[in-house]
Structure formats: structure tokens, C-alpha cells
């Protein structure tokens, strides 16, 4: 896989759209405490990371930038759920078995 300047712009654009998705989620939340600068920065950081992960995952499968940008934006908007989904899929892919409810190591 070669990397050039146009690919860097695509990554920056997808991450920017994911950040906007995270900002939209913060604004749409009806909690006044969520609009503190610290919470907004946290949400946008998590959203940017989720959008970037989705972009890197699906960037080669969808040739057009519109689909990839849409998926990155939606990943940014639904960041906690997206990261949870990706974590579960990754664990399954590498063979990590989730803890059973009766295990001693599972917190109650």
C-alpha cells in the first residue's frame, strides 16, 4: 500500500467528519453539563479515533470517498458503540474468549 499526499487529505477529511459527528452528538444531548470544554474535547477525541479506525478499516473496500466519509461520520457520532463493536469483532478474530459469567476473574 503506497501512501501519498492525497491519501493524507482523505484521512484528514474522514477524521474531520468524524469530529463533526462527535460534536453533533454533544450538541444534541440535552445535558447542560455535557457542554463543558473538557467534555466536548473528550467526546471529539473519542469520535475522531472511532472515525479514523473505520476509515482505515473500510477505506480500501469502498472506492468512493462519499461512502467512506459517511461511515466515518456515523462512527464519530456513535463512537462508544462503534468502538465496542470493533473490540468485540477483534476479540473474536484473534480468538480471545469473553469471560463466562461464572468465572472467578469476572467482577460481580
pLDDT digits (tens, 9 = 90+) for 46-83: 999 999 988 888 877 876 778 888 889 899 999 888 88
Q: Residue 12 pLDDT > 80, yes or no?
A: yes
Query: What's the whole-model pTM score?
Result: 0.75
Q: Residue 105 pLDDT > 70, yes or no?
A: no
Domain spans of the chain?
A: 5-87
What is the pLDDT, as a whole number, of residue 40?
85
Closest CA to 58 of 71, 39, 46, 45: 71
Q: How many CB atoms lie within 10 A of CB 18?
A: 31
According to DSSP H, which parts of the chain are helical? 5-28, 37-58, 65-77, 79-94
DSSP 33: G
What is the pLDDT, as a whole number, of residue 99?
61
Amino acid at each position: 500500500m503506497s501512501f501519498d499526499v492525497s491519501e493524507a487529505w482523505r484521512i484528514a477529511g474522514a477524521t474531520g467528519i468524524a469530529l463533526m459527528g462527535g460534536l453533533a452528538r454533544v450538541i444534541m444531548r440535552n445535558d447542560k453539563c455535557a457542554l463543558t470544554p473538557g467534555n466536548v474535547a473528550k467526546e471529539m477525541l473519542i469520535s475522531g479515533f472511532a472515525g479514523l479506525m473505520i476509515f482505515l478499516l473500510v477505506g480500501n473496500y469502498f472506492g468512493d470517498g462519499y461512502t467512506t466519509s459517511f461511515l466515518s461520520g456515523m462512527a464519530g457520532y456513535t463512537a462508544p458503540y462503534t468502538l465496542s463493536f470493533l473490540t468485540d469483532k477483534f476479540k473474536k478474530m484473534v480468538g480471545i474468549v469473553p469471560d463466562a459469567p461464572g468465572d472467578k476473574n469476572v467482577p460481580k
